[in-house]
Amino acid sequence: MKKLLIGAITLGFISSSALADNVYVTALTSNCTSSAICGQNANADINPNTSLPVYSEGILGSFTTAISTVPYKSPTPGARFFSNSFSNSTPDLGITLRPALAVAGGVYRLYHVYSSAAGNVSTNIVVGVTNVANCTLSFSSTDKFQRSFGAVAGGVNSWQFLGYVTNDVATSNPEITFYFQGGVVNAGASQRLVVDSFRFSLEDPCLDIPTVFPTGPLATNLSDVIVTGVNGSATKVTVFQDNGAGMVSIGELNSGIVAGNNAVPVTGLVRNSVVAATQTVGGQEGCPLDYSAFLVGGGANPRLRVALSVRQTTSTGPVGTAGSTATVGANIHFLGSSTRISGAPGDGPVLIPSPAWQTLTFDRGTATLGNSANAVGSPESNLGYAANDTVAVRVYAYRTVPESGVQIFSAAPAQSSVVTSNDVFAVNWTWDAVANADGYRLLRNFNSDNYVGGSVDVVGVNNFNDANNAWSGAITVTPTSTHTNPAVKWNAQTGASPAGTVYDLNGQWGTIDAIAFAIDDLKDTGPFDLYIDNLQNGSTVFQDFENAVGNTADYAYRSPSFSGTTSGNILGLPNSSRASVRAADTGIKSLHVKFQWNGTNDTKWLRLTTSGAAPVQSPQINLDHPTSIRFLLLPKGSTPVQPVATSLSISNNAAGQRVLSWAGGHNLQASSLVTGTYTNTGVTLGPWTNTLSAQEKFFRLSDPYDD
């Protein structure tokens, strides 16, 4: 058995001594999850042995958020895609890889992985491949960039084997170019070429055995590890652990092995150790890939940082209804956070494990300024305006809000009447003072120029002596409000203020994009097992999960892995967002969420998104009012108090029919015998009028437990 080490992911920042038997080349900058941090351009890493780029494009591609999800892959903010112009690529002008491998003369297997989940990848592209320098290839073309090879199976994409690369005897720095050979590449026709991540693996017999990998939960209080991807004909599945002294077997399964997931009994899981797995098929053991994504946690629950991810919207309410995410909806902010760490919320409220429900409140804190009134101009005999000139003013109060440093203005001006004279004149302007104003901006309508001729700022008084010689200031009188609590923008609409801007969550209304969870304990990956209930904006509770049947998936919030923005930050399991009758703040239901980080670096975050969720996606909130959420994050070893089940009541309607009534959503089940088999009627919400023809039926409410 040979141990394969994951290495050389960001090639521009390592020494040659760190190179190992698996080398990755990514189309975008690796070890980064936010294009706002590391950009959208092609990977600029340099091969330290040749000083040449590890990845380059002779035909320029473009950024796409289509990210593949697969174990043993460095996180990136997206991938690169190519359209019609790639048809012009040649063996001398294409996509070129120049990795720094470890073994001169060594034989490597070359793999590629990408996602075609968006359904816009070419179905018939054939890519030519040529050995530009320092190697020979076992293949000259590949169809593995076609749509079918980027599909997801079991929640993950698959590494696609392209062929063998044999280094020349005296070198370990091959140069390989990919170019167009056939098929259709046309983004407008949903026939893109997508390039994500390549992997060079040193040839070894163990590579002939499909890789298996552990999945979560991984915690010190567990006695087995789930290994996924197992072949049904495997005779043994082994789990290894490295807690600093190398990989050591901590458990194996020798019987009852099934295709797919298998629970392998283990002993001695140590927090922050790395876990790997192999399967043995036909007498050959596979390769255990030592990769820090599979870290053992201390058990549910560590502390957890939270922000509210809010989109700007053109919608105007009411609270809890679906809002528009178009146009300005591309501006997304972490309400409650003032900083980012590589795309993750960098600060904000923290949930500490507790047996009691906790409230987190996200309040933009809106600062406005009152309007002035009674703007009056009195003409005076003095030099200034020519005879018969006409002049009027609008007066706006202004103030710089100390929390944000933003200058705001009155929403509406004090409007004067027109002043004129049949002789030369000046004007003495007066207006009502405004509480808390720093000053006043006067805009002038001079000879009907519609207030575009400049302004005057007046400080300390509420009058101005106008001799027609001071109107040169800016005519801007926006914004009319700002917030007093931070919200850092993490995604920006083209042309808007950039990601990283704070105090820019404008407008009265927003939509909830997601609840954003971020790692706070950098020594513990979890897992996390928490409950969410009673989302309230102002005085309106807009989601309490009571209308969901127990165990309903993706109710109000999608599963943790759904968002491609953050799916690379968590293990494949646990991965659950389901309505639950196991715990509730009020009523009998809540949302039960389970996940685990795949590392302990401070960039780990989870976007628990509302996109596509039922019954409402992108629910609206009034940003002038606080939004509160109730959380239950139990200490390690604790269990929640289960709510009391809902009961049925029965009555007669005016027609003499029996009517069943109940609160919330449940499966209404019926049986001919009180002790018989109950089946769902298809009814979940009451009241329900009995129209069944059978003489006698027995009814009950049922809510399955979530997993």
Residue 124 sits in a domain of what CATH number? Answer: 2.60.120
Are 300 and 529 spatial neighbours (Cβ–Cβ below 8 Å)?
yes
Is the Cα torsion angle 560, 566, 567, 570 positive or negative in sign? negative
pLDDT at 695 over 70: no
**Half-sphere exposure of residue 438: CA atoms within 13 angstroms, side-chain side:** 12
Q: How distant, in Å, are the alpha carbons of 368, 371, 455, 538 from that of 401?
A: 9, 16, 21, 23
Q: What is the pLDDT of residue 291?
A: 63
Contact at 8 Å (CB) between 188 and 266?
no
DSSP symbols for 150-184: G--BTTB--PEEEEEEEE-TT-S--EEEEEEEES-
SS3 341: strand
DSSP 598: S
Length of the chain: 707
Same domain for 137 and 115: yes
Which residue's structure tokens are 């009319």?
480
Q: Which amino acid is at 419?
A: V
* Domain presence at residue 607: yes
Residue 17 is predicted with a pLDDT of 25
Amino acid 12: pLDDT: 27
- 32 and 153 part of one domain: yes
Specify whether the CB–CB gap between 75 and 31 falls below 8 A. Answer: yes
Domain that holds residue 84: 4-203
pLDDT at 154: 67
- Integer Cα distance of 10 and 47 in angstroms: 9
| Residues ≥6 apart with Cβ < 8 Å to 340 | 34, 36, 37, 334, 346, 488, 490, 499, 500
State mean pLDDT over 613-635. Answer: 97
User: What confidence tens digit (pLDDT) does each residue in 16-46 have?
Assistant: 222 347 899 999 988 887 777 788 999 999 9
pLDDT tens for 474-533 read 999 999 999 999 999 999 999 999 999 999 999 999 999 999 999 999 999 999 999 999
Q: Please, which pLDDT band fits residue 419 given cuts at 50, 70 and 90?
A: very high
* Lowest mean pLDDT across 336-350, 408-422, 679-693: 679-693
| 194/700 Cα distance (integer angstroms) | 52
Single residue among 203, 218, 244 that ends a domain in this structure = 203
**C-beta neighbour count of 35 within 10 angstroms:** 20
pLDDT level of residue 693 (50, 70, 90 thresholds): low
Per-residue tokens: 498: 């950039």
> Is there a domain that residue 472 lies in?
no
Assess if residue 167 is contained within a domain: yes
Q: Are residues 653 and 616 in the same domain?
A: no
> Among 182-186, 590-594, 596-600, where is mean pLDDT lowest?
596-600
**H/E/C letters for each residue in 652-686?**
ECCCCCEEEECCCECEEEEECCCCCCCEECCCCEC
Structure-block tokens of residue 474: 């800016």
Query: Which region among 59-73, 318-332, 593-607 has the lowest average model confidence (pLDDT)?
Result: 59-73
H or E segment and range at residue 283: none
Three-state SS for 397? strand
User: CB neighbours (10 Å) of residue 474?
Assistant: 10
Lowest mean pLDDT among 207-211, 276-280, 634-638: 207-211
Tell me: pLDDT of 129 over 80: yes
Measuring CA to CA, which residue among 70, 219, 226 is closest to residue 150?
Answer: 70
Query: Tens digits of per-residue pLDDT, 529-561?
Result: 999 999 999 999 999 999 999 999 999 999 999
Q: Residue 246 — pLDDT band, cuts 50, 70, 90?
A: confident
pLDDT at 363 over 50: yes
Q: To the nearest whole percent, how much of the chain has pLDDT over 90?
A: 81
Residues 502 and 437 in one domain: no
Side-chain-side CA neighbours of residue 657 (13 Å)? 11
pLDDT value at residue 77 = 86
Point out the domain boundary residue: 249, 264, 290: 290
CA nearest neighbour of 61 among 41, 32, 46 = 41
Q: Is the pLDDT of residue 261 over 90?
A: yes
299 lies in a domain? Answer: no
State the average pLDDT over residues 206-219: 90
CA atoms within 13 A on the CB side of 596: 25
Q: Is residue 672 part of a domain?
A: yes
Phi, psi of 133 (to 5 degrees): -160, 150
Among 177, 203, 229, the domain-final residue is 203
Closest CA to 328 of 506, 103, 549, 95: 506
How many angstroms separate the Cα of 593 from the Cα of each of 334, 613, 632?
20, 14, 10
Sequence-separated (6 or more) residues with CB below 8 Å from residue 189: none
pLDDT at 8 over 50: no
Beta bridge partners of 363: none
Q: How far apart are the first and last CA of the chain?
A: 37
Question: Does 343 share its domain with 382?
Answer: no
Q: Do 390 and 439 belong together in one domain?
A: yes
The answer to which of 211-215, 306-310, 610-614 has the lowest mean pLDDT is: 211-215
Residue 697 has pLDDT above 90, yes or no: no
How many whole angstroms separate alpha carbon 470 and alpha carbon 27?
Answer: 57
> What average pLDDT does range 297-324 have in this prediction?
97
In DSSP terms, 595 is beta-bridged to: 528
Backbone angles phi, psi at 546, to 5 degrees: -70, -25
3-state class percentages of the chain: helix first, strand second, coil last, to nearest 5: 5, 40, 55
Asked if 505 and 606 sit in the same domain, the reply is: yes
Mean pLDDT of all residues in 314-334:
96
195 and 241 co-located in one domain: no
Residues 523 and 666 in one domain: no
> Do residues 359 and 384 share a domain?
no
Residue 620 CB partners (closer than 8 Å, separation 6+): 313, 315, 317, 318, 319, 320, 321, 322, 323, 509, 510, 511
Residue 566 lies in a domain: yes
Q: Which residues pair with 629 in a beta bridge?
A: 360
| Chain mean position to CA 359 | 23
C-alpha dihedral sign at 574, 519, 19, 250 = negative
H or E segment to which residue 290 belongs: strand 289-290
User: Domain check: are 551 and 593 in the same one?
Assistant: yes
Say yes or no: 359 and 385 in one domain.
no
For residue 199, being part of any structural domain is answered with yes
- Any idea of the CA torsion for 655, 658, 662, 666, to the nearest 10 degrees? -120
Please count the structural domains in the chain.
5
| Residue in 3, 204, 5, 9 with CA at minimum distance from that of residue 100 | 9
d(CA 184, CA 84): 8
pLDDT at 16: 26
Give 202's pLDDT tier (boundaries 50, 70, 90).
Answer: very high
> How many Å apart are CA 612 and CA 358, to the nearest integer?
27
How many percent of the chain have pLDDT more than 70?
Answer: 96
Average pLDDT (300-320) is: 97
**371 domain residue, yes or no:** no
Does the pLDDT at position 14 exceed 50? Answer: no
Q: What is the mean pLDDT of the chain?
A: 92
Answer whether residue 207 shows pLDDT above 90. no
Contact residues for 282 (Cβ-Cβ < 8 A; gap 6+): 233
The residue whose two tokens read 């020594």 is 523
